[in-house]
Amino acid sequence: MAYLFTSESVSEGHPDKVADQISDALLDNFLAFDPESKVACETLVTTGQVILAGEVKSNTYLDVQTIARDVVNKIGYTKGAYQFSGDSCGVISLIHEQSQDINQGVDRSTKEEQGAGDQGMMFGYATKETANYMPLALDISHKILIELAKLRREGTEISYLRPDSKSQVTIEYSDDNVPQKIVAIVVSTQHDDFDEDAPMLQKIKDDIISILIPRVKAQLPKYVQELFNDDITYHINPTGKFVIGGPHGDTGLTGRKIIVDTYGGKGAHGGGAFSGKDPSKVDRSAAYASRHIAKNLVAAGLADEVLVQVSYAIGVVEPTSILVNTYGTSHVNKTDGEIATLVASIFDMRPSAIESRLKLRNPIYSETAAYGHMGRNPETVTKVFESPYNGRIEKEVELFTWEKLDYVDNVKKAFDL
């Protein structure tokens, strides 16, 4: 019998994502001026306030207030009517130095002996379902909100949008796990206030269905476009007015959208958040490395769907376990346990090796903090950082290195594919 699967996404203006973006902007600035910085920054945003907390060990000093305000303004919270603006919000910093008890387990005499920054398990997932090896429902959910943000910034076709929004996509699958059709799409978007509720709510629904959805559909490959149909149930701002939103409508915290950040409920999640953490925290770096493994395994043709789990003990160099689950879709004559053993010989999962392989000690994290950490396009960009204490630095960096298919040949050789 056919089944339904749903994933959601949230926009850059969602309060939790505002917090994530501030935390990662702080991390990027620390890494830009001191690549060996150890950072764990948390952010809370609410009406008119940004509160920064966490632990840092760094040789640089930052104007954290200005960095936080710049992020808020860039997202689009620039008006007093939003009750949260980068120019007027209060910014309180409670950041202090990292505990020496933690640091002694991470820093070692040689970089290669660096221990894991914490215990825990991390997961990576990949599927042939989409060109970027991501679950389809999540991929569409992200694209809906990316395009909605473009429409907001353009301000021509839809002029009343505010930054906060959410999306959700439900897809019907056949028994053999093939997408059949899109069943439901939910879009809730913050908007300007208006005089009459009913006409404006109808206009929002009409604009989302007739302007936004066609723009999203046009970006998708033909086989995905064919999943759109006249029977889709649309829930557009289903509660009615959505004027009060963002940090004024709901408090935001770093790390509360970990499923949106990863695989939309497919695969698995170890529970650790990403934003605000430097790569010595394996919650982040090993999750990226696990995605890198899973994506290269699927791209090499080893299996149609792969889940990778890795686990660590704090201060210990080697992972405590590596698991591979191919969900019965493997194309090689090996058990999943045998596959995992070979994978461990191909990919060095020591924390320092992950940092080096994926170039994680660079200021590359602000771009991850909205619309998903996985499934993005790897690219090289030049970023500029300015500080009243450290001057100006221009740095060329590679973004989303864990999405590169640079180990496909290694996998094929190891598994005789």
Task: Cite the annotated binding site for Mg(2+) by residue number.
Answer: 16
Annotated binding site: 14, 16, 42, 55, 98, 164-166, 241-242, 250, 256-257, 273, 277, 281
Residue 210 DSSP label: I
Q: Which two tokens stand for residue 95?
A: 């950041």
Q: Which two tokens stand for residue 63?
A: 């104007």
Beta strands in 220-265 (DSSP E): 233-236, 252-253
Taking the C-alpha atoms of residue 164 and residue 143, their distance in angstroms, rounded to an integer, is 15
Annotated binding site for L-methionine: 55, 98, 250, 281
SS3 319: coil
Contact 300, 411 (CB under 8 A): yes
> Which residues fall within 8 angstroms of residue 203, CB to CB, at 6 or more apart?
none
152: left (phi over 0), alpha (psi -120 to 50) or beta: alpha
Annotated binding site for K(+): 42
Q: Which two tokens stand for residue 272?
A: 């650790």
Tokens 């686990």 locate to 311
| Among the listed residues 222, 225, 378, the one whose alpha carbon sits nearest the alpha carbon of residue 295 | 378
Contact 282, 48 (CB under 8 A): no
According to DSSP, the β-strands at 305-312 and 120-127 are: antiparallel
Annotated binding site for ATP: 14, 164-166, 241-242, 250, 256-257, 273, 277
Contact 166, 10 (CB under 8 A): yes
Contact 262, 31 (CB under 8 A): no
Taking the C-alpha atoms of residue 124 and residue 135, their distance in angstroms, rounded to an integer, is 12
